[in-house]
């Protein structure tokens, strides 16, 4: 029965994608795999992109308008980002998302210009069709609050690169009513809570903007000093 339902979903997805979206073909794809930055805080982003052959990599192009936040809902010891990356490559469930974040690791599973199936709002919904999905781990052997802080840094970098604002960051709950990200919505396990998480993102975003402005000023300063030195040499 489950396989039958999966087949029905896959067929609907294919028909819808043919009618309404741009399918991506292997070998004929300009992939915008990831962010320009390769590090978030001091964590390198690991790219472990789902192979083309996996049915739950939908291969449908996307321009992101939202970022959707999830909790993994898996408190098992060892259920960290690496475990979820392995799961995604092995599962036959029709589910996929863009990033998994734990207290010390960030792994990317889908290019940022492809949709994933994570929001529970079908093939017509903005959640699946137009949002970058981030899963935050809640493994019992991890530091959950640190995982949220790492996710806030990643979200800030995405907002900055895609010129989005904080209003475009939404909980999974927004799309389908599911109680996800449960820890944040219920403020459990020391979670920053949804509002606290939004504030953390805004703080990280201001840091990125400030640092960027600072480096632009430093570049202008260096240019002015060079020009002054040139004039001075000519005067001598
Ligand atoms: Zn979710």
Residues 88-103: tens digit of each pLDDT: 999 999 999 999 999 9
Q: Is 101 helix (H, G, I), strand (E, B) or coil?
A: strand
Using the mean position of ligand 1's atoms as its centre, give its distance from the Cα of residue 28 in Å.
31
Using the mean position of ligand 1's atoms as its centre, give its distance from the Cα of residue 220 in Å.
45
Query: What's the CA gap between 37 and 104, in Å, rounded?
Result: 17
Using the mean position of ligand 1's atoms as its centre, give its distance from the Cα of residue 27 in Å.
31
Q: Which residue has the higher pLDDT, 233 or 102?
A: 102
How distant, in Å, are the alpha carbons of 18, 67, 85 from that of 173? 28, 12, 23
Using the mean position of ligand 1's atoms as its centre, give its distance from the Cα of residue 101 in Å.
13
pLDDT, residue 16, reads 46
Model confidence at 225, in pLDDT bands (50, 70, 90)? confident
Query: What's the CA gap between 129 and 10, in Å, rounded?
Result: 15
Query: What's the CA gap between 133 and 58, in Å, rounded?
Result: 14
pLDDT, residue 223, reads 74
Strand order in the sheet with 43-47: 39-40, 43-47, 106-108, 99-101, 131-136, 66-71, 169-171
Query: What's the CA gap between 202 and 159, in Å, rounded?
Result: 10
**What is the tens place of the pLDDT at every residue in 145-180?**
999 999 999 999 999 999 999 999 999 999 999 999
CATH fold, domain 37-215, is Lysozyme-like (3.40.80)
Query: What's the CA gap between 19 and 15, in Å, rounded?
Result: 6
Using the mean position of ligand 1's atoms as its centre, give its distance from the Cα of residue 29 in Å.
28
Using the mean position of ligand 1's atoms as its centre, give its distance from the Cα of residue 36 in Å.
26
Using the mean position of ligand 1's atoms as its centre, give its distance from the Cα of residue 171 in Å.
8
User: Which value, to the nearest 10 degrees, does the dihedral of the CA atoms of residues 134, 61, 59, 153 take?
Assistant: -20
How distant, in Å, are the alpha carbons of 22, 107, 216 from that of 229? 54, 47, 20
Give me 141's structure tokens: 């052997």
**Which DSSP string do the residues of 199-216 spell out, in sequence order?**
HHHHHHHHHHHHHHHHHH
Report yes or no: 49 and 111 within 8 Å, Cβ to Cβ.
yes
Nearest to 115 by CA among 70, 56, 37: 56
pLDDT, residue 234, reads 73
Using the mean position of ligand 1's atoms as its centre, give its distance from the Cα of residue 180 in Å.
5
Using the mean position of ligand 1's atoms as its centre, give its distance from the Cα of residue 17 in Å.
23
Using the mean position of ligand 1's atoms as its centre, give its distance from the Cα of residue 99 in Å.
12
Q: Which residue has the higher pLDDT, 79 or 226?
A: 79
Model confidence at 229, in pLDDT bands (50, 70, 90)? confident
pLDDT, residue 76, reads 97
Using the mean position of ligand 1's atoms as its centre, give its distance from the Cα of residue 143 in Å.
19
pLDDT, residue 14, reads 45
Q: Is the pLDDT assigned to residue 31 strictly greater than 60? A: no
Q: List, in sequence order, every residue forming a beta bridge with 28; answer none if it has no partner.
A: 25
Domain boundaries, the chain: 37-215
% of the chain with per-residue pLDDT over 90: 69
Using the mean position of ligand 1's atoms as its centre, give its distance from the Cα of residue 98 in Å.
12
Q: Is 125 helix (H, G, I), strand (E, B) or coil?
A: coil
Average pLDDT taken over every residue of the chain: 87
What's the whole-model pTM score?
0.82
Say which range, 28-37, 128-137, 195-204, 218-227, has the weakest mean pLDDT: 28-37
């Amino acid at each position: 029965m489950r396989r039958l339902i999966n087949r029905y979903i896959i067929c609907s997805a294919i028909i819808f994608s043919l009618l309404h979206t741009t399918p991506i073909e292997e070998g004929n794809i300009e992939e915008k795999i990831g962010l320009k930055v390769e590090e978030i805080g001091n964590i390198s982003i690991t790219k472990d992109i789902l192979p083309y052959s996996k049915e739950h990599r939908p291969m449908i192009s996307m321009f992101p308008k939202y970022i959707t936040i999830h909790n993994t809902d898996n408190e098992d010891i060892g259920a960290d980002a690496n475990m979820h990356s392995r799961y995604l490559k092995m599962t036959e469930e029709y589910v996929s998302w863009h990033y998994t974040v734990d207290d010390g690791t960030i792994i990317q599973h889908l290019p940022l210009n492809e949709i994933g199936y994570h929001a529970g709002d079908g093939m017509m919904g903005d959640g699946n069709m137009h949002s970058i999905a981030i899963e935050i781990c809640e493994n019992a052997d991890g530091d959950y609050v640190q995982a949220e802080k790492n996710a806030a840094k990643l979200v800030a970098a995405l907002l900055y690169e895609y010129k989005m604002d904080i209003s475009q960051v939404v909980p999974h709950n927004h799309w389908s009513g599911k109680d996800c990200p449960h820890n944040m919505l219920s403020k459990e396990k020391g979670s920053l809570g949804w509002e606290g998480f939004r504030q953390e993102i805004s703080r990280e975003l201001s840091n990125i903007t400030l640092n960027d402005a600072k480096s632009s000023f430093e570049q202008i300063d260096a240019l002015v000093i060079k020009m002054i030195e040139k004039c001075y040499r000519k005067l001598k």
